[in-house]
Amino acid sequence: MIEIDLDKLVWVGGAEGHLGQGAQGNVFKGRLRAGSKAIAVAIKSVDVNDAALREVSVLAKLQHRSIAHLYGIALSSDVGREKMLVILEYCSLGDLSEGTKLFVADPGSSSQEQRAAKVLETLGGNRLALAGPALVIEARRRLAEKLGGALGAGANEAFYRVAVAVASALEYMHAQSIIHGDMKPSNVLLDAQGDARVADFGLSKSAAAGSSMMTLTGMGVGTPQYMPPEIIQGGRVSSPGDVYSLICLFITIHTGAVPFAGKGDNIAAIFQAIVSGERPTFSAGAPLGLVRLGVQSLDADPKRRPTARRVGFELESLQKGEEVFGAVGGQALGPIADGSFRALLDTAGLGKFAEKLEEQGFEDGGDFQNFSDAELDDVGRGAGMGIAHLKRFMKLAQVQKE
């Protein structure tokens, strides 16, 4: 853990400097002096305790392009109380919750004008001196240009850009035996380039006793609209719970609506709906593969949900216009119950290819690199598939074995 000298921190004053308030403290904007340069940072002020120290050490181990970077900590005194300052990467375009609201909420509201002003400040300023709805419309235009589309407007490039990045970050965290525990739009930030960063300024706490995993936020105190049914019913945090919340997050930035928005802040009603099997859905007209991924990921049984890696793989395929579980070779592909590669190939009409794999000793379909492109092409022509699809099926088999 890197401890930072207080004299290297410069605080941004006024309303601009206060970024928000979480359950454990306030978040401020500042600058960190690094040699002759000063880096914009977010500074979280929290009480010093064992849980905060333990979980900051966990955050320090996370090095991923789509996770907000932790620069280090500093210690200070506030009215006689020792405080820990957690210095994190500053993401100037705000969080996905605010970004989505910018596109879908009434452009005439004062809150929308404030959001628009912050966005334009990052994207070059309010060059036309606009105000009111015109300011919001201009911010929408420029943010959509930066992201590759509007948030809350379906499965466009902006949606896939964010979704693939966040799924990759979650896959990485789970590989490190870490559970996020509170995946929701406000915990995903956008940097100045429009790239997503998973973050949580609430700091972490340990998971349920006896668990080998840790949680960054504690799903037991998570956000009702994004909580999986097993947590509501007293279960422990888990990676499948993260996947459930992840898909709810994706549905929000796809549709522009928070799950169970019609129930307002009635937590009891939200919990009852989730436990009884009610689920949010992607917008009408969403790709079939995305709809099916949502249904699988929101299954009441955590064991039936795909892994974060599988979610990321399917999102990448959809982004490239490939329906992994779509119609391939004239055959409709559905989920393979036992996860076997042979069953997948048989369903796709690729039994001959599966037989060749087995002849070569690759019963699990694990390594297509031992086949030449000529061999793949020969088998593929007979099944109505090209080399690229065959290779993607191979990769899918490896993902399914997890």
Question: Is 157-319 in the same CATH topology as 6-89?
Answer: no
Mean model confidence pLDDT for the chain:
79
HSE (CB half, 13 Å, CA atoms) of 103? 24
Give the Cα separation of 89 and 105 in Å (integer).
28
> So what's the pLDDT on residue 1?
61
β 327-328/331-332 pair status: antiparallel
> So what's the pLDDT on residue 167?
96
Give the Cα separation of 174 and 246 in Å (integer).
13
Give the Cα separation of 288 and 318 in Å (integer).
10
> So what's the pLDDT on residue 10?
81
Backbone angles phi, psi at 331, to 5 degrees: -110, 140
DSSP assignment string, 123-151: TT--TT---THHHHHHHHHHHHHHHTS-T
Q: What CATH topology corresponds to 6-89? A: Phosphorylase Kinase; domain 1 (3.30.200)
pLDDT tens-digit readout, 19-49: 776 656 678 888 898 777 778 888 888 888 7
- Please report, as a single letter, which amino acid is at residue 103: F
Q: Tell me the average pLDDT across 339-368.
A: 56
Q: Quick check: 164 and 316 in contact, CB under 8 A?
A: yes
pLDDT at 379 exceeding the cut of 70: no
Give the Cα separation of 105 and 256 in Å (integer).
9
pLDDT at 151 exceeding the cut of 70: yes
- Tokens 């010093």 locate to 48
pLDDT tens-digit readout, 47-105: 887 767 766 877 888 899 999 988 989 888 766 678 888 898 899 899 999 999 999 99
Measured in Å, how far apart are the chain's first and last C-alpha atoms? Answer: 32
User: Hey, CA dihedral for 55, 41, 160, 247, is it positive or negative?
Assistant: positive
In 209-307, alpha helices (H): 229-232, 239-255, 267-275, 288-297
Give the Cα separation of 387 and 303 in Å (integer).
32
pTM: 0.77
Give the Cα separation of 97 and 22 in Å (integer).
15
Give the Cα separation of 118 and 178 in Å (integer).
33
Q: Please state which CATH number belongs to domain 157-319.
A: 1.10.510.10
Give the Cα separation of 128 and 158 in Å (integer).
26
- Residue ranges of the domains in the chain? 6-89, 106-147, 157-319, 329-400
> So what's the pLDDT on residue 297?
93
Report the alpha-carbon angle 103-171-294, nearest 5: 55
Give the Cα separation of 214 and 223 in Å (integer).
18
pLDDT at 288 exceeding the cut of 70: yes
> So what's the pLDDT on residue 275?
94
Backbone angles phi, psi at 366, to 5 degrees: -80, -25
Q: Quick check: 77 and 83 in contact, CB under 8 A?
A: yes
